[in-house]
Amino acid sequence: MTRASEFRLALVQLLVSPLKADNLCRARSLVKEAAQKGASMVALPECFNSPYGTKYFPEYAEKIPGESTQMLSEVAKECEIYLIGGSIPEEENGMFYNTCTVFAPDGSMMLKHRKIHLFDIDVPGKIRFQESETLSPGNTLSTFDTPYCKVGIGICYDIRFAELAQIYTKKGCQLLLYPGAFNMTTGPAHWELLQRARAVDNQVYVAGVSPARDEKASYVAWGHSTVVNPWGEIVTKAGCDETIIYADVDLQYLTAVRQQIPIHSQKRHDLYSVEAVQE
């Protein structure tokens, strides 16, 4: 495949309400705005169609295809863009998943990524959250190809696991994209740090797309959707309000970084390796 050397990525930091219909309508409008401003790839945040929380997942869950993914398919086709549909609560055979779908410019679904690592944490005095109370983990790695580059998908907590990013990079990914709703404890501590770490470790672009912050919600998202380049620099970063941010992903710059510090050819495969156990 002959690839373009640069493309515009847009991250939609959506303010999510308890009304699914309003969330879908607002998401459609903002995705169309991003496309009109030149984005050829657009991403929505984690749980873009529903409030985030274990009590909400079963209430808002859909089958795929369903109402939310139908909207994503339609707007991807209308705008002729690659659309990363953040994530939605998915139901299948009585099981619930936190699931990201990706749509091609013709409206077809390219992949379905179920969150691999469930967000089960307990920080005394600050936050306790157990996704496993209602969700089941996914068991597949998720990449898709575009005329620009290959993209690896993780959801929120997936970003903490460096092995996943390493495997995606070995598979040829040059952009890692993580819809994620970090909170007011983990967000200021680790959201940007983890994105920069994954970018530097693998010499890739990393994008993290968060919901906007709603101080009245039961789970308050940190916001600050971000794009990081292969040198570990912040290309663009949102605040906490609803917005769209844009970044030009330059694959020639990525190649230059890898030539300047050639870690990929210097790895000691005779001493260590990170491999996928199942594809």
Residues in CB range of 167: below 8 A, 6 or more apart: 141, 274, 275, 276
Residue 42's φ and ψ, nearest 5 degrees, are -130, 140
Q: What are the start-end ranges of the E strands in 148-233?
A: 150-153, 173-179, 205-209, 226-228
Cα–Cα separations (whole angstroms), residue 62 to 18, 68, 96, 195: 15, 8, 9, 30
8 Å CB contact between 111 and 142: yes
- Residue 86 to residue 179: CA distance in whole angstroms: 5
Helix (H) or strand (E) holding 7, with range, is strand 6-13
What is the Cα–Cα distance from 277 to 275, expressed in whole angstroms? Answer: 6
Which H/E stretch holds residue 230?
Answer: none
Torsional class of 38: left (φ above 0), alpha (ψ -120 to 50), beta (otherwise): left
Q: Are 25 and 17 in contact (CB under 8 A)?
A: no
**Residue 6: CB atoms within 10 Å:** 12
Quote the tokens at residue 257.
Answer: 């970084």
Q: Which residues are catalytic?
A: 46, 115, 156
**What single-letter DSSP state applies at residue 30?**
H
